Amino acid sequence: MTDPLTASTTVADVLRKRPLAARVLMNHRMHCLGCEIAPFETLEEACEIYGVSLRDLLAELNATTTESAGPETLAKSDDHQ
């Protein structure tokens, strides 16, 4: 089992540990994916910048799996939205 993501987890660590989290961030219009600050910015800081509820975001991110974000996986996640 993967350790839960927390407010102090950096955006880069989120994306490394849970590739499908990229979709969650983009759904919240958080454009952190290619940002130079991602290795240093925590989820808490990103939520403040983008006006997103930290509690809600953490719940969504922690619900994502650690599987890779290949085309088949992304198609499956689209079916559930």
Domains of the chain: 11-79 (1.10.3910)
- Contact between 42 and 8 under an 8 Å Cβ cutoff? The reply is yes
pLDDT greater than 80 at residue 79: no
**What pLDDT, on the 0 to 100 scale, is given for residue 34?**
82
The rounded distance, in Å, linking the Cα atoms of 77 and 5 is 20
Quote the pTM value: 0.77
DSSP 1: -
Summarize pLDDT for 24-71 with one digit per residue, the tens.
999 999 988 888 989 999 999 999 999 999 999 999 999 987 765 544
